A and B are shown apart, each in its own frame.
Chain A
Amino acid sequence: MTQISNPLLRVDNLTMMYGDRVGCKDVSFELRPGEVLGIVGESGSGKSTLLRSISAQQEPTKGTVQYNTRIDGVCDVYQMSEAQRRLLMRTDWAFVHQNPRDGLRMNVSAGANIGERLMAIGDRHYGNIRSNADAWLGKVEIASERLDDLPSTFSGGMQQRLQIARNLVTSPRLVFMDEPTGGLDVSVQARLLDLLRGLVHDLNLAVIIVTHDLAVARLLSHRLMVMQQGKVIEHGLTDQVLDDPQHPYTQLLVSSILQN
């Protein structure tokens, strides 16, 4: 009954150098469909560099990123054509930024923000796009009557949820998230976490989530990678890494959490 599904993403020896400085070094891992991988570490440890290099936003100095595409099977993300890569990035992949302003278009309506990604993959029927956008607003718990409002009139938490709707409307299989709960207050964070976890489960999303919040990592991710100075120093089952950390730095990180 055990199904060993093929990896969706495979990263081998990924290294990103900024001149002599190390962004991230020799990172390798696989990700399966429906699997959530958390990347934790302090500021400057290379988490975001790694995320950008994996998600085709910044070509790495060394190493490969392979993705199991729907049509052509396993492809090297940096070997495919520009058109192919762009299609991948706006259909099968999604990127949720820490600051929703980086992921939204602030001067068009909420509905247009969602509809734009649908149009980018060839959807042309205005009625369908609008009803689909409306349905997604509902999924991320934004009232229908806000469909024609500009995102700039939304609260930070609503903007973040709108960004998620915009990203997930094309039914991606892999979502990259960079500190998605970063700038939000605690009550809004809880709502977003609940929402994300539900979506991940219902849509069988694979997710790579960068966070410095170990509680967020614990609640969302199956596996955890701990980074320090550009290197992965510990990698394993989330609760094992957090409850029985082996590396000195992970122990420091875990023991630095304030208990309430």
Chain B
Amino acid sequence: MSEMLHAQNVAKSFTLHTQGSVTIPVFQGVDFTLSGGECIALTGESGSGKSTFMRMLYANYTCSDGSIKVFHDGDWLDITTASPHSILEVRKRTMGYVSQFLRVIPRVPTLEIVAEPLVALGTVRETAMDKARDLLTRLRIPERLWQLSPLTFSGGEQQRVNIARGFIADYPIMLLDEPTASLDAQNRATVLALIEEAKGRGAAIAGIFHDHETRDAVCTGSFDVTSFKVGAND
């Protein structure tokens, strides 16, 4: 399958100005590619920078060095140098991200929150709503909750709303940050099925997965962030 994302010689360090300007190096020299139809697990112990790397792929964090090119609208775009407008376009049409946190305006109904990315793409509202209903049903969010804000939901329910929102638009690239972390066996199986379906339609997926079972079930490969830790090869 064709390459969709290509990170080259990526480095990240944090400078904490409020704490004596101490600089914390995370990793350097990371080369990473992601192609359509694959699901790569980002691995490494806690604190190795998996989440940091994923946030950089989404341009949520800046890069200290290197480039991250994304195949967007038939062309390669380096998101480390792209304008905010371009990055927002990439996120709207090319790259989806399922984070561990749900950040929404209070009062907006769950159904709207889930349908929103599809509506933003120009899909007819009712079609987007139908797809949202379908996903919420599959993820076992009871229908009586659909008109309520998810901010009142349990952690597991919020997680599933996040997943529904992340999977509603068929993004060519998907980033998943522990999508099954707080789910029971049934819901985990549903998420695995969603990931398989995304792979099946040719999406390029990178994910951080809590448990081996999930990783073994859906991943086509893994990428260990630890080996790029600053000083790892000295």
B55 in contact (CB, < 8 A): yes
B45-73 interface (Cβ within 8 A of A): 55, 59-62, 73
Complex contact A237–B18 (CB within 8 A): no
Complex contact B105–A219 (CB within 8 A): yes
B103 in contact (CB, < 8 A): yes
Contacts of A246 in B (CB 8 A): 15, 62
Q: Is the interface of A mostly helix, strand, loop or mixed?
A: helix
How far does the Cβ of B123 sit from chain A's closest Cβ, in whole Å? 14
A1 to B74, CA, bound (A): 10
**B106 touches which of A194, A218, A236, A255 (Cβ 8 Å):** A194
Provide the A44-63 mask, 1 if CB < 8 A to any CB of B, else 0.
Answer: 00000000000000000000
Complex contact B84–A237 (CB within 8 A): yes
B144 in contact (CB, < 8 A): no
How far does the Cβ of A154 sit from chain B's closest Cβ, in whole Å? 20
A131 in contact (CB, < 8 A): no
Contacts of A191 in B (CB 8 A): 107
Complex contact A237–B106 (CB within 8 A): no
A153 in contact (CB, < 8 A): no
**B59 touches which of A240, A247, A255 (Cβ 8 Å):** A240
A1 to B121, CA, bound (A): 12
A208-238 interface (Cβ within 8 A of B): 218-219, 222-223, 236-237
How far does the Cβ of A246 sit from chain B's closest Cβ, in whole Å? 7
A81 to B105, CA, bound (A): 42
How far does the Cβ of B129 sit from chain A's closest Cβ, in whole Å? 16
Complex contact B61–A1 (CB within 8 A): no
B232 in contact (CB, < 8 A): no
Contacts of B60 in A (CB 8 A): 239-240, 243-244
B212 in contact (CB, < 8 A): no
A243 to B108, CA, bound (A): 24
B88 in contact (CB, < 8 A): yes
Contacts of A35 in B (CB 8 A): 85
B185 in contact (CB, < 8 A): no
Known contacts A237-B88, A248-B17, A251-B16; A190/B103 CB under 8 A: no
A2 in contact (CB, < 8 A): yes
B143 in contact (CB, < 8 A): no
**A236 touches which of B15, B17, B21, B84 (Cβ 8 Å):** B84
B87 in contact (CB, < 8 A): yes
A150 to B131, CA, bound (A): 45
A2 to B75, CA, bound (A): 11
Contacts of A219 in B (CB 8 A): 103, 105
Known contacts A1-B73, A2-B73, A194-B108; A237/B103 CB under 8 A: no
Known contacts A239-B60, A240-B59; A190/B105 CB under 8 A: yes
Which residue on chain B has the smallest CB distance to residue A190?
B106
A83 in contact (CB, < 8 A): no
Contacts of A2 in B (CB 8 A): 73, 89
**A193 touches which of B61, B103, B105 (Cβ 8 Å):** B105
Provide the B167-203 mask, 1 if CB < 8 A to any CB of A, else 0.
Answer: 0000000000000000000000000000000000000
Using CB atoms and an 8 Å cutoff, list the residues of chain B in contact with chain A: 14-18, 21, 55, 59-62, 73, 84-85, 87-89, 103, 105-108
Using CB atoms and an 8 Å cutoff, list the residues of chain A in contact with chain B: 1-2, 32, 35, 190-191, 193-194, 197, 218-219, 222-223, 236-237, 239-240, 243-244, 246-248, 251-252, 255
Q: Top 10 A-B pairs ranked by shortest CB distance?
A: A248-B17, A190-B106, A237-B84, A244-B61, A194-B107, A194-B105, A251-B17, A223-B84, A193-B105, A251-B18
